[in-house]
Structure formats: structure tokens, C-alpha cells
Amino acid sequence: MTYAIDHIGLLVTNDVESGDGPLGVRRDVALVIDGGRVAAIEPAGVHADDGVDAGGRCVMPGFVDSHTHLVFAGDRSDEFVARMAGAPYRAGGITTTVDATRAASDDELTRLLDVRVAESRRNGITTTEIKSGYGLTVDHEARLLRVAGAATTETTFLGAHVVPAEYAGRPDDYVELVRTSMLDAVAGSCRWVDAFCEVGAFDADQCRAILTAASGRGLGTRLHANQLGHGPGVQLAVELGCASADHCTYLTDADIEALAGSSTVATFLPATDFSTRQPYPDARRVIDAGATVALATNCNPGSSYTSSMSFCIALAVRDMHMTIEEAVLAATVGGAAALRRPDLGRLSVGSRADAILLDAPSYTHLVYRPGMPLIARVWQA
């Protein structure tokens, strides 16, 4: 049974072979879908079993959000208010969410997650990576990954988010727990393992121990790197062959060189820098050096409580000096690269039919009309 999105004024394929410019755009076409995949791109006015008329508006690939922390309970708006009055963001705030999350039942966590995933879908996100990291015991981390696994295949174990209160003063004992029993308990229910490499969280040796253990079990790795200051995170991510180094807010020339010479994707999370009043990453230098970049929302209660990828794109263009095309690519194929999912982020024949219809004639309106609800319709496969 075929389904057509017909009379598309501007179709972003992200496939330079099948269209014009860096986004491979096509004009006045129909996107024909069969079995959840793009079957054809035809001139407008096709016959299909079912479908919708785009009315000359823009259709583009769904956003691939490669970094979120969506399984949590509780509220930390007071921290945000304090930051807006001048207080700095501190990794230690994570423990507030750990307490609330441990106290919540599975049903409550599932209900909260479902609401957040639905919110992401309405914002055009068709693939969502979800991390654990607010449980920090063997049982709680396993539970958060079970809850996350009902919503996505892109699940990430983040036992090394912060040292929990019960291990205060014994960080190496906690790292040992994470890389042995905790990893044993969660290995079957996560695709990725992540760690927070930062002052106040885990140092390079601790992160290396955990991510090496993860690779030894065949799990993919990623790293929170250089979020709050300069540090070893980015170069460690490259050394370990991580799929992505996330945040990349503080980068030296050597960090940029390392990223450019690697397959590690530099994932920028500009809504975090907005919400923590930090500088934005120097995306221009990273892109000009030749590194692959992604944009993600980092939706979490502490540093970035938004699942608006459109907002991230607007920040990336306005404040990180990315072109609109670079930002759109980073939020789609960039996120797919960060998740090592070449089947996502494109609308060319054979790709998964994850698409969004904009209430606008062009993707440029995502930046030109910031804050407006431009996502008119979302299709997943």
C-alpha cells in the first residue's frame, strides 16, 4: 500500500545526488512511501493508495536527537532561576534528580517518559537517544534502561553520571561498581555506554576504565566532554574511538585537530549553553577543520529542559555561526552519524520514511521565525 505526501513545494532529501545544494533539495514533488521506506520521489500529482497534500509547503527529514536524558522525575526549575540570577551550573545538581527518580515507581517514570517522548515527536524528532544516569545503583540503572528501552532502541547506560552520595569520598569504588556489576546488569538492555568526563564528575582515567570495559562487551561508546571547561574529554573520546564527543563547548586547537582526524562526531548541545549561560562552542572552526558535527537537545531537568530541535538550530545559526544548511544537516544526518545509523536523517529512495511537514515554504523559516510552532505534521516510518 503506497502513501504519498504530494505537492511538496520544497523537499529536503539530504542526498546531494538526488537534489540541489548541500541539502539535496527538490521542488514541486511528491514523496511516495511504501512499507515505511521512501519508495520514490516523483513530480507532484501522483496517484497513491493514501496520502496528504502538502499544499506547497516544505517537507524535510525528521530530526535525529542523539543526546537526551529523558527518564527522570522531579523538577529543578529553582536551579534555573538561580542561574538566571548569576549562579553557575554545577554537576552536583544531578543528585537532586537522582533522589526524585529513585523515589518514583516504574509506572510513574514510564508515564513521565511517554509525555516527554510525545513532546519530542511534536517537535519533529523522529529518533531519540535516551540515557540512564539518574539511578546510580545497579537496580535503579537497570530499571531506567528498561523504561527507556520501551521508547527507543537508542538506549545509553550513563552510570558514570556523577558519584552518588553513598560513594562520597570513594569515587574509585563507584567506578569499579559501574564497570563490573552495573555493566553486567545493563549490558543486555543498552546499545551505548557514556560517561561524564568533567571536574566534579569523572576524570579521564575513570572514564577510560568504564568505556574500555564497555567496548570489551561490544557496546558502542560516547562521552560527555569539555562541557564546563577545558579538559581531556574530547581527546579521550577520539582515543577510544567513541561515536561522539558531546557538548564540546570548550575546545583547544588540539581538540579540534583530534576531532577532524577522527570518526568521532562533535555533538553540540546549544540549548545547554543557553540554559547554563555558558559560551557557545566554536562550531565554525570545528566544521572548517573537517570534523562531522551533530546538534542535539540534551533534554534533561538540570541543564537543558527543552526538546525543541528548532530552537537548537536557531541558536546554532544565530550564535554559533553555522549556516542554516549546516544546522539542518547537523540535526538530521549529523545526529544519525553520532548514532551510527546511516539509515536515518535522509529522504532518498530506500531511507526510512521519517519526515516532517513544516508550516512554511522553506526550512529557513526554522531560524527566521524562532519559537514558532512550525512543525505541522510528523511521520515515523
Give me the least distance between CB of 240 and ligand NIG, in Å please. Answer: 18
300 binds ligand NIG (CB under 6 A): yes
Strand locations in 316-380 (E): 355-358, 375-379
Nearest to 186 by CA among 222, 150, 141, 149: 141
Give me the least distance between CB of 300 and ligand NIG, in Å please. Answer: 4
* Binding to ligand NIG in span 129-188, by CB under 6 A: none
Rounded Cα distance between 137 and 227, Å, is 25
Nearer to ligand NIG, 28 or 75 (CB): 75
Residue 274 exposure: Cα atoms within 13 Å on the Cβ side: 20
Nearest to 260 by CA among 269, 250, 252: 252
- How far from chain centre, in Å, is Cα 244? 10
How many CB atoms within 10 Å of residue 43? 10
Q: Which residue is nearest to ligand NIG (CB)?
A: 302
301 binds ligand NIG (CB under 6 A): yes
- How far from chain centre, in Å, is Cα 304? 12
* Binding to ligand NIG in span 261-290, by CB under 6 A: 272
Site size for ligand NIG (CB under 6 A):
13
* Binding to ligand NIG in span 186-245, by CB under 6 A: 196, 224, 227
Find the part of the chain contacting ligand NIG (CB under 6 A) among 4-12, 91-99, 183-191, 331-339.
91-99
Q: Which residues contact 225 (CB under 8 A, 6 or more apart)?
A: 197, 231, 233, 234, 236, 237, 245, 246, 247, 248
How many CB atoms within 10 Å of residue 124? 28
Find the part of the chain contacting ligand NIG (CB under 6 A) among 11-19, 52-60, 167-175, 299-307.
299-307
302 binds ligand NIG (CB under 6 A): yes
249 binds ligand NIG (CB under 6 A): no
Find the part of the chain contacting ligand NIG (CB under 6 A) among 92-100, 138-146, 207-215, 363-371.
92-100
Helices and strands in the chain: count of H runs, count of E runs: 15, 16
* Binding to ligand NIG in span 47-76, by CB under 6 A: 69
Nearer to ligand NIG, 14 or 128 (CB): 128
* List 152, 298, 306, 308, residue binding ligand NIG (CB under 6 A): 298
Contact, 334 vs 283, CB < 8 A? no
93 binds ligand NIG (CB under 6 A): yes
Give me the least distance between CB of 346 and ligand NIG, in Å please. Answer: 27
Tell the residue number behind the cell numbers 530541535, with chain if given. Answer: 309
Nearer to ligand NIG, 75 or 343 (CB): 75
DSSP secondary structure, 247-268, as one string: E--S--HHHHHHHHTSS-EEEE
Site of interaction with ligand NIG (CB under 6 A): 69, 93-94, 97, 196, 224, 227, 272, 298, 300-303
